[in-house]
Structure 1
Amino acid sequence: MTTDVLTFGLNHHSAPVSVRERVSMSGDLIRPALDALRSAFGSSLREATILSTCNRTEIYVAGKPEIAEHIPTWMADFNSLDSTLIKPHLYQYNQEEAVRHAFRVASGLDSMVLGEAQILGQMKTAVRTANEAGALGTMLNQLFQKTFSVAKEVRTQTAIGAQSVSMAAAAVRLAERVFGDLSQTKILFVGAGEMIELCATHFSAQNPKSMMIANRTLEKGEALAARFDAKTMRLADLPNVLHEYDIVVSCTASALPILGLGMIQKTIRQRRFSPMVMVDLAVPRDIEPEVASIDEVYLYTVDDLGRVVQMGNDARQAAVIQAEAIIDSRVQSFMHWVHNRQVVPVIQGLNQAAHSVAEIELEKARKLLAKGVSPEEALERLAKALTQKYMHAPMQVLNRSEQDERAQLLGVLPKLFPFQMPENTSSEH
């Protein structure tokens, strides 16, 4: 069976957050998605991995090439969407381009924050989940191990991650546009994950008046708050105190918005219409997009922050060129492994056929010896029989071939069967 490496997905380059959030998969949904994907395609799809972050949802598979036309429909169906909503935003990469894409993603070349390292950890988590689900095989396992190696090489040998403007740093810059000095602001973080931790690190450096962390479980929130001299509260208490905060940064795994238009309208009235910055780093979004219509609210999504980040990317283009060169070289190396792997079944078949012929002829030789034939004669007959059997198929194909095919065979046969050509090879008589 021909097995191709294929990649399907959408990201911040191809789709706005309003589309990305419709196909985003939380961590606990990846395993069921992998099971459903493999069940839908059966033996046509041998291996699969799903990578889903705030900036991308991608499916990496190893399987028959013909499944490619059906996976976009599966993505839409699994997310209960009309396929026309996502198909215009989907990209597909096959074989070499799929490998190159994986290398670029892990190296931070395809990220909103050029050169950021977070995506590598997210990809490793995706691979670990696929492995635990029994969805990894030789092809994708080899691909991702090589991917992680390439990402390390790019980060070690280039300056791709140097002076990168992170999403967290961009959030600080946008808040400073509204408030200027942040030392008199009160900041509320909703959630206690990795992105909130990064944002808290950047905002705390501005010495704000106070910082609060709201989370569903107090234990996780308290562990993070202890690092930044912040306080904690339960998420359920949010509506009662939201008006006390000038800056709200939210990034949870909620499937639905937790900060709605009505709540924020009430909050603004309680604040006597003083300005408020709200940064929504979640996908799906935590804050209803309609909140942006409130004059006093400055609402920023991951895409808004991405535009700020992009301004700092141009300075690192020399590192990008160097990184792309490394990736191109490693892609060719991996594809060489893939092509060699495809030859293995042929070699195994040739070996098996040769051993079968040898066993048959050896049995005949044993019978000759049992009848009293001398060992010399038995060996001579064995050698002659083996030679005839091994040469029969190629000689038959050569004799039956037409002119163009014969020319190709004459070019290949000396490589497969090295021998000394007779000096007089003229076909004229």
Structure 2
Amino acid sequence: MSVDVFTFGLNHTSAPLSVRERVAVPGELLRPALDALRSTWGAAVREAAILSTCNRTEIYCAAEPQVVDQLPAWMAQFHKLESTSLQPHVYRYQQNDAVRHAFRVASGLDSMVLGEPQILGQMKDAVRAANEAGALGTLLHQLFQRTFSVAKEVRSQTAIGANSVSMAAAAVRLAERVFGDLDQANVLFIGAGEMIELCATHFAAAHPRGMMVANRTVERADLLASRFSATTMKLSQLPERLADFDVVVSCTASSLPILGLGMVERASRLRRHRPMVMVDLAVPRDIETEVGRLDDVYLYTVDDLGRMVQTGTDARRAAVVQAEAIIETRVQNFMHWMQKREIVPAIMEMHEASEKVQQAELERARRMLARGVAPEQVLEQLAYGLTQKFMHGPLSALNRSEAGEREQLLELMPQLLPRTERRR
């Protein structure tokens, strides 16, 4: 059965954060998820990769067509959700639409922040994980290599990423709305990944009074803190130290909330109800949603920041048209490569068949020469035998064909027959 390229998933435009966090696939679950996906359908899913970020969870696969309609049910089952719970939020793309979607995602055209660069690195991480799990083959490998090339071309030839307001910069702006200058603010970062590093970079530029990093792995916390003259603490110290901080930015891979309502309530009382800004960039969320109901706590999620940074993107809209044109051209190039790839088995079969005919006729000619037949006569018989066998297939097809099929064959025949060129 034929194998097509599919993309299936949900993102910030199709699903709210409350749904996205339930189907997020953290790094340690990528391989089990890929193994489960492929073992469910066996050879029907030839290749697969899973991209899971705070704004999207997507499956890219080379699979037989009947598989794609069952993917929502599989994803729900893998995450122990109701089988129909994801249906209103998912999208499916096939063949050139799937290729176009991959190109747009990597180029930042499908991001909450138009042109944001982080998604390209996240996609490369997803491809690396799929390759290490043995889930990549020729088709997806070629797709992603071209995806990365297109993203580079879009970013270098258009202004799609110019003056983009990142989530990290938005977090600083939100804190400044509450506190004004941050020179008297103490900032706590929970986690030590790429997003926290970006946030630390932006907050450091605002020169807060102090910065601290809390992370499950102390070594990573120390490494990040050393870059910004910050201090570190253990996650276990959060309950007694939380009240010391005016701004808390959290982005971990925890499957459960790290900061609960009770912990934040106690911290607020200890602060004598001085305001606290909490920015939760994690999916699933690190901070319980009920925290947002506290009078003195300003809680912002990744979607809140996304809505903020979407303002002011009009200057980059003109670049979208140019980027889409580049992408469309590259989509057509990739589909042409796929079509050529599909006929390779037929070409190989034709070569093998012609090789057998050639060997048979050569063996016949050798036997004639061994019997003393004149070389000229042997050559004539060799040419005649090869010609007859070459013509047998097309002539038989014409003789067996009905009227409509015969017209098609007659139109194709001039293209299939060899052309002889007169020597000068």
Task: With the length of structure 2 as denominator, give the TM-score of the two structures.
Answer: 0.96
CA RMSD of aligned residues (A): 1.4
Query: How far is the alpha carbon of 1:239 from its aligned partner?
Result: 0.4
Amino acid at match of 2:60: Y
Gaps of 5+ in 1: 421-429
Provide the residue aligned with 1:424 in structure 2. none
Which region of structure 1 is more displaced relative to structure 2, 153-162 or 64-73? 64-73
Corresponding position: 1:309 with 2:318: no
Which region of structure 1 is more displaced relative to structure 2, 153-162 or 172-181? 172-181
Query: How far is the alpha carbon of 1:374 from its aligned partner?
Result: 2.4
Provide the residue aligned with 1:161 in structure 2. 161
Provide the residue aligned with 2:403 in structure 1. 403
Provide the residue aligned with 1:216 in structure 2. 216
In structure 2, C-alpha distance between the alignment counterparts of 1:226 and 1:377, rounded to whole Å:
89
- Whether the 8 Å CA contact 2:73–2:84 is kept in 1: the answer is no
Provide the residue aligned with 2:232 in structure 1. 232
Provide the residue aligned with 2:14 in structure 1. 14
Provide the residue aligned with 1:83 in structure 2. 83
Provide the residue aligned with 1:329 in structure 2. 329
Secondary structure at the residue paired with 2:115?
Answer: coil
Provide the residue aligned with 2:378 in structure 1. 378
Provide the residue aligned with 1:425 in structure 2. none
In structure 1, C-alpha distance between the alignment counterparts of 2:379 and 2:73, rounded to whole Å:
64
Secondary structure at the residue paired with 2:214?
Answer: strand
Instruction: Give deviations 1:173-205, integer Å, cap 9, x for gaps.
Output: 112222222222221111111111111111122
Provide the residue aligned with 1:245 in structure 2. 245
Query: How far is the alpha carbon of 1:238 from its aligned partner?
Result: 0.5
Amino acid at match of 1:181: D
Secondary structure at the residue paired with 1:84?
Answer: coil
Instruction: Give deviations 1:189-245, integer Å, cap 9, x for gaps.
Output: 111111111111111222212111111222211221122222111110000011121
Amino acid at match of 2:158: T
Aligned residues with identical type, % of pairs: 67
Query: How far is the alpha carbon of 1:65 from its aligned partner?
Result: 1.4
Runs of 4+ deviating beyond 6 Å: none
Gaps of 5+ in 2: none
In structure 2, C-alpha distance between the alignment counterparts of 1:158 and 1:251, rounded to whole Å:
31
Which region of structure 1 is more displaced relative to structure 2, 245-254 or 221-230? 221-230
In structure 2, C-alpha distance between the alignment counterparts of 1:353 and 1:66, rounded to whole Å:
33
Amino acid at match of 2:240: N
Instruction: Give deviations 1:127-163, integer Å, cap 9, x for gaps.
Output: 1111111111111111111111111111111111110
Query: How far is the alpha carbon of 1:329 from its aligned partner?
Result: 0.8
Amino acid at match of 2:17: V
Provide the residue aligned with 2:294 in structure 1. 294
Query: How far is the alpha carbon of 1:412 from its aligned partner?
Result: 0.7
Provide the residue aligned with 1:426 in structure 2. none
Amino acid at match of 1:159: A
Amino acid at match of 1:65: P
Query: How far is the alpha carbon of 1:11 from its aligned partner?
Result: 1.0
Query: How far is the alpha carbon of 1:418 from its aligned partner?
Result: 4.3
Provide the residue aligned with 1:338 in structure 2. 338
Query: How far is the alpha carbon of 1:355 from its aligned partner?
Result: 1.3
In structure 2, C-alpha distance between the alignment counterparts of 1:268 and 1:84, rounded to whole Å:
40
- Whether the 8 Å CA contact 2:187–2:210 is kept in 1: the answer is yes
Instruction: Give deviations 1:272-317, integer Å, cap 9, x for gaps.
Output: 2222111000011000111111122111000000000110222210
Query: How far is the alpha carbon of 1:322 from its aligned partner?
Result: 1.0
- Whether the 8 Å CA contact 2:186–2:247 is kept in 1: the answer is yes
In structure 1, C-alpha distance between the alignment counterparts of 2:175 and 2:87, rounded to whole Å:
35
Provide the residue aligned with 1:148 in structure 2. 148
In structure 2, C-alpha distance between the alignment counterparts of 1:352 and 1:229, rounded to whole Å:
69
Provide the residue aligned with 1:355 in structure 2. 355
Amino acid at match of 2:399: N
Q: What is the 5 A alignment of 1:5-154? A: 5-154=5-154
In structure 2, C-alpha distance between the alignment counterparts of 1:285 and 1:45, rounded to whole Å:
31
Secondary structure at the residue paired with 2:213?
Answer: strand
Amino acid at match of 2:260: G
Amino acid at match of 1:242: L
In structure 2, C-alpha distance between the alignment counterparts of 1:280 and 1:54, rounded to whole Å:
11
In structure 2, C-alpha distance between the alignment counterparts of 1:183 and 1:157, rounded to whole Å:
39
